[in-house]
């Protein structure tokens, strides 16, 4: 059996290699851009010497490998250079937008856990009952609704039925923390909906599987109460596999929030990304893309490690 | 374990229920597409200043939008892109995934590690991020969306192929073929690939659904299908400004989109159930 240390080392090597490939992918994508960046920035009227000057200033005249290294070093030291369009540092721009995206992701994740766990436990008590079937059907439907469509439908619902429309109002957390949470609730719910369905479906089948395991029957024959079996044995065992699912859900939530921000007009990373795309602001774009991928890589890394600590058998695989 | 399987088989609904509901939902969208090839009630792009934002009525069953365009006709013509992009994208993903996944599973070792490293790296870009990058660099067009999404989805298929191949290559008939001197390429193409089809089938159907989720999201952001062509995502984006005055602009495209995705999910669920029963 692999020891804890060698498993950790193996995973860390994998993490570094993955990051390397991710950074190469991002860099390659932005190095094959058709057209001369300096020429595009200065416009067709600029003289050749002006273009050369800007190329030197942006470091575009250096060989590809040198540019890759300096770009990667810049990203890893959180100093990825200046945005073409805004002419301020990329990390500053990203940091400014983080509260929205991170806040939404955290709230959405809390919603997923708070709603899917109780429903899955209730549903798996008597699988096949009417309540369980209704939950499963609703789960299927929710799973098929893209987050941005869910946002639109929620906006429709809140504006026509409850006539409380708060789309477009954003309050920064430093101004009023509760207002900030309040304006993120609806978008977070829209992002969370399909993931609630996913987490519910997964947990339900995992709990049902655990419940038919031999150790549960043994515990029952020892006279343990159902609730105690559920809390002490079934849930911890279904948790191990849900650690992996949670990291996938978190990454999906992050990806989904990029679009939903646009629907609700929230100044988050998604909107910054879109403005970077439309202005062809590649330093900013590559920075956002790399950091978002970095967060996901780290999430998967942490979840792998956490799962292996919770269930040492995983290290055998 | 055998007991658990029996229980779940008893308590989940029959596969045929999923097939029927799935095919009906999918059929609505496909029928709209087929009819739109020959006939739409109005020209999808024809504007009519006299009938702007009309609520659903006899001549415009699904209402009209802010340019007076008939929503029903636009929905019918939009289904074309949804179906086309999802099929083309999944075809690319399937081809790439199979070409990468089977050798990874068959040879193992460094080939496996290298291929999976690239696959995992692609999967580390959350949601539509990588496809957005491709569109940002190469421009927004249907072709770019298709190959970008095909690339994004390839690792999913590669994983399915890899795991399946690892199981199949341990079977006796593969060992036998190897002993007889059949070349690896021939083993992979004629002896392994056909046996992966039962596993690839549900993955393909789910892939079509997920591809549509991503494509419509990109079209919503204005980075997918370009106007004046209609797509569900773009129609929803345009409708957002009229959410209070013209909710039908949101409801009908959203319904069609969800019918398509849900229909595919149900069919894949049916496939999953009937395949797991058949395999028992």
Mean pLDDT of B77-100: 93
Residue A285 lies inside a defined structural domain of this protein: no
Residue A168 binned pLDDT confidence (cut-offs 50, 70, 90)? low
Predicted local distance difference test score (pLDDT) of residue B9: 44
Residue A16 lies in a domain: no
Average pLDDT over residues B23-45: 88
Cα torsion B178, B184, B190, B193: sign: positive
Contact A199, A252 (CB under 8 A): no
Statement: residue A316 has pLDDT above 70: no
Full domain range(s) for residue A202: 98-269
Phi, psi of B64 (to 5 degrees): -130, 160
- Taking 50 as the threshold, does the pLDDT of residue B5 lie above it? no
Q: How many residues can be counted in chain B?
A: 280
For residue range A228-237, what is the model confidence (pLDDT) as tens digits? 888 887 887 7
pTM of the shown model: 0.87
Gap between the Cα atoms of A310 and A305, Å rounded: 9
Which pLDDT score, from 0 to 100, does residue B7 have? 45
Tokens of A212: 């038919």
> What share of chain A has pLDDT > 70, as a percent?
90
Residues A278-296 have a mean pLDDT of 87
**pLDDT tens per residue across span A183-209:** 888 889 999 999 999 899 888 888 888
State how far the Cα of B139 lies from the Cα of A219, in Å rounded to an integer.
61
Count of domains observed in chain A: 1
- The verdict on residue B188 lying in a domain is yes
Q: How many CB atoms lie within 10 A of CB A108?
A: 30
- Residues 6 or more apart whose CB falls under 8 angstroms from that of A242 comprise A199, A202, A203, A206
According to DSSP, residue A266 is labeled -
Say how far apart CA B234 and CA B258 lie, in whole Å: 15
pLDDT at B110 over 60: yes
Which of B4, B127, B262 minimises the CB distance to A256?
Answer: B127
ipTM of the shown complex: 0.83
Q: 188-217 in B: which are within 8 Å (CB) of A?
A: 209, 213, 216-217
Using an 8 Å CB-CB cutoff, list chain B residues near A148. 217, 220, 236
**CA–CA distances in Å: residue A191 to residues A173, A253, A256:** 20, 6, 6
> For residues B159, B164, B165 and B169, what is the CA-based torsion angle, rounded to 10 degrees?
150
φ and ψ of B70, to 5 deg:
-75, 120
CATH of the domain at A251: 1.10.3720.10
**Cβ separation of A160 and B4 shorter than 8 Å?**
no
Per the domain annotation, does A122 fall within a domain? yes
- For residue A79 the two structure tokens come to 């100093």
Asked if the peptide bond before residue B228 counts as cis, ω within 30 degrees of 0, the response is yes
> B64 - beta bridge partners?
B70
B194: domain range?
Answer: 15-36+69-279
What chain B residue is nearest to A264 in terms of C-alpha separation?
B240
The answer to whether B236 contacts chain A (CB < 8 Å) is yes
Chain A nearest C-alpha distance from B180 (Å)? 32
Residue A96 is predicted with a pLDDT of 86
- Residue B73 contacts residue B62 (beta carbons within 8 Å): no
Asked whether residue A42 is domain-assigned, the answer is: no
Query: What pLDDT is attached to residue B246?
Result: 83
- B interface test, pick of A259, A264, A283, A317 with most B CB neighbours within 10 Å: A259
- The CATH number assigned to the domain holding B154 equals 1.10.3720.10
Q: Residue B246 domain-assigned?
A: yes
- The answer to whether position A241 is within a domain reads yes
**A residues 37-76 closer than 8 Å to B (CB):** none
Q: Rounded to whole angstroms, how far apart are CA atoms A28 and A44?
A: 26
User: What pLDDT shows up at residue B96?
Assistant: 95
Asked if residue B254 is part of any domain, the answer here is: yes
Q: Is residue A60 part of a domain?
A: no
**A180: which 2 tokens?**
């900030």
Chain A residues lying within 8 Å of B163, measured CB to CB = none
Structural domain includes residue A304:
no
Based on the structure, what is the number of domains in chain B?
A: 1
Q: Is A102 exposed, middle or buried (0-12, 13-18, 19+ CB in 10 A)?
A: middle
Is residue B91 assigned to a domain?
yes
The verdict on B2 touching A (C-beta cutoff 8 Å) is no
Q: Which residues of A16-51 are buried (b: 16+ CB within 10 A; e: fewer)?
A: eebbebbbebbbebbeeeeeebbeebbeeeeeeeeb
3-state secondary structure of A109: helix
User: How far apart, in whole angstroms, are the C-alpha atoms of residue B69 and residue B60?
Assistant: 9
Average pLDDT over residues B178-199: 89
Instruction: Report if residue A136 sits inside a domain.
Output: yes
- What is residue B11's predicted lDDT score, i.e. its pLDDT? 45
């Amino acid at each position: 059996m692999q020891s804890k240390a060698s498993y950790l080392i193996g995973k860390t090597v994998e993490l570094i290699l993955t990051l390397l490939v991710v950074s190469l992918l991002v860099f390659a994508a932005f190095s094959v851009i058709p057209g001369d960046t300096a020429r595009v920035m200065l416009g067709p009227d600029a003289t050749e010497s002006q273009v050369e000057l800007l190329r030197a200033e942006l470091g575009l005249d250096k060989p590809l490998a040198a540019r890759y290294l300096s770009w990667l070093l810049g990203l890893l030291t959180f100093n990825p250079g200046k945005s073409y369009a805004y002419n301020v540092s990329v990390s500053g721009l990203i940091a400014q937008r983080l509260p929205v995206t991170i806040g939404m992701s955290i709230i959405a994740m809390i919603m997923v856990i708070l709603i899917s766990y109780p429903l899955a436990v209730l549903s798996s008590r008597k699988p096949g009952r009417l309540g369980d079937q209704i939950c499963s059907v609703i789960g299927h439907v929710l799973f098929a609704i893209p987050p941005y469509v869910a946002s639109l439908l929620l906006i429709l619902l809140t504006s026509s039925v409850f006539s409380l429309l708060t789309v477009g109002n954003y309050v920064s957390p430093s101004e009023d923390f509760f207002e900030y949470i309040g304006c993120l609730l609806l978008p977070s719910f829209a992002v969370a909906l399909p993931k609630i369905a996913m987490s519910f479906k997964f947990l339900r089948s995992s709990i049902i599987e655990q419940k038919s395991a031999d150790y549960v029957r043994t515990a029952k024959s020892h006279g343990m109460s159902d609730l105690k079996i559920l809390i002490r044995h079934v849930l911890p065992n279904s948790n191990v596999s849900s650690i992996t699912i949670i990291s996938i859900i978190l990454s999906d939530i992050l990806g989904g929030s990029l679009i939903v921000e646009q629907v609700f007009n929230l100044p988050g990373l998604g909107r910054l990304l879109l403005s970077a795309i439309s202005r062809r602001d590649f330093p900013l774009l590559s920075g956002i893309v790399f950091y978002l991928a970095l967060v996901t890589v780290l999430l998967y890394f942490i979840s792998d490690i956490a799962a292996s600590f919770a269930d040492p058998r995983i290290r055998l695989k | 374990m055998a007991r658990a399987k029996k229980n779940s088989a008893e308590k989940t609904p029959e596969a045929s229920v999923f097939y029927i509901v799935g095919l009906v939902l999918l059929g609505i969208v496909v029928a709209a597409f087929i009819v739109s090839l020959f006939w739409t009630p109005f020209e999808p792009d024809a504007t009519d200043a006299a009938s702007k934002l009309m609520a659903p009525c006899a001549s415009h069953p699904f209402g009209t939008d802010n340019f007076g365009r008939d929503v029903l006709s636009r929905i019918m013509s939009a289904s074309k892109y949804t179906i086309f992009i999802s099929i083309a994208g999944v075809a690319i993903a399937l081809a790439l995934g199979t070409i990468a996944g089977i050798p990874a599973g068959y040879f193992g070792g460094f080939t496996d590690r290298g291929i999976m490293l690239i696959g995992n790296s692609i999967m580390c870009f959350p949601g539509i991020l990588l496809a957005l990058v491709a569109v940002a660099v190469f421009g927004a067009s249907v072709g770019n969306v298709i190959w970008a999404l095909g690339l994004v989805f390839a690792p999913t298929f590669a994983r399915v192929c890899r795991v399946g191949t690892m199981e199949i290559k341990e079977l006796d008939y593969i060992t036998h073929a190897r002993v007889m001197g059949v070349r690896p390429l021939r083993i992979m193409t004629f002896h392994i690939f056909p046996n992966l089809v039962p596993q690839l089938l549900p993955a393909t159907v789910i892939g079509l659904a997920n591809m549509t989720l991503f494509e419509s999201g990109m079209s919503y952001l204005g980075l997918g299908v370009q106007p004046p062509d209609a797509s569900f995502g773009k129609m929803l984006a345009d409708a957002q400004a009229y959410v209070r005055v013209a909710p039908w602009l949101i409801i009908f495209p959203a319904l069609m989109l969800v019918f398509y995705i849900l229909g595919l999910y149900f069919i894949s669920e049916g496939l999953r159930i009937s395949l797991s029963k058949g395999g028992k």
